[in-house]
Amino acid sequence: MPPIQTNDRILSSCKPQQNHAYCMHKAHRVMKYKSRTRRAKSTGQTLSPISGHTRTVSYLGLPPRFRNEPRPLLSFILRVLDGKHRQMVRQHLEYFLRFDFQIPTPEIERIQRRLRGDPSLFQCAVNGMISSMREMADMWIDSGKSRTEREVDFPTDRNVEDVLPGRACSLALLIYRSLLRSHPVYKEMRRDGSQTITETYPRFDPQSHWKLEDALQAHGTKWAAFYFSGLLDSPFSRHISRCDHCKAYFAYHRARLRKVKHGVFCLACERQSSVKRTEGSRNRRLDTAAKERIEWESRRKGPAPPEWIAEQVNKRHGTAFGRRWVSQNLEKILERVEALHNAKG
């Protein structure tokens, strides 16, 4: 706990006959009360409708190890997308499923007997959560990709409204069908009297499907939609990304505001990104050289001088090439010249 900062005004209000220890005690009590009031207002804590006291609820029901991270929800979603933390996902789903089984009914008792007899049956819920989370992440990331050039990415253009090629519906409709149309919310009051909308956790609905396997998979899908919709409503929605080379999911420290022209790569594949950028820049310079050679030959007789071609490339791309660069790449320039002639017919 940080040291208490004393308040000169509070100390001056003490009577002269009171000793210094009493004044410090009074200052400590006042500052403690004010800090508690400030803390409750700043964190947006709500009051319990039963007791009237401050509610202490973990952030979206995340496991304890994620609560102290700077981006807890994003870190949890990346673990789920990784697919290597299936035991963590299973423990999380089983923990909340116990609350749904608190009121015993013949249907609930039958489901509990089946799960105890075949523990592997619960993998349907785990598979449903992981696969649905990946589907939603792919739809969100792909909504910012260029439709014509897959290496071009506009993270700021991501949206949940567009129906992407190969998809039957938009991301908004998918989350609505999986969660929002059957997900109850209610109002709660803060300490200062203002109100807020509070969500409840997804509930297991065994009557939604004929087979228990399908009901468990739908339950995992509902949890995936619950967490991913929370990410979309957070400042970190555009931090998540996917590597174009290894297809691994990762997160930027800051959201990218500029257009990505040469593909998105994770740290492990960053070398591949550097090679692609170098190759792309080289190809663009060769294309410029080929076009300038065609332009020269259309107006004058004879081949274009290498010095002139290098000068035009330098003007266009900010380089400092000489005639030697043109001579070294003459074969590739001539190939592009022929390809441009063939394209014109």
pTM of the prediction? 0.69
47-66 per-position pLDDT tens digit: 655 555 555 444 567 887 88
Residue carrying structure tokens 């995936």: 224
End-to-end CA distance of the chain: 78
74-105 per-position pLDDT tens digit: 999 999 999 999 999 999 999 999 888 888 88
Count how many Cα atoms sit within 13 Å of the Cα of residue 156 in the half-sphere of its side chain.
6
How far, in Å, CA of 194 to CA of 202, rounded? Answer: 26
Q: Does 3 have pLDDT greater than 60?
A: no
299-333 per-position pLDDT tens digit: 887 778 888 888 888 888 888 888 899 888 888 88
Give me the pLDDT at residue 4, please: 36
Count how many Cα atoms sit within 13 Å of the Cα of residue 33 in the half-sphere of its side chain.
5
Which residues, 6+ apart, have CB-to-CB distance to 309 below 8 Å?
Answer: 289, 292, 293, 296, 326, 333
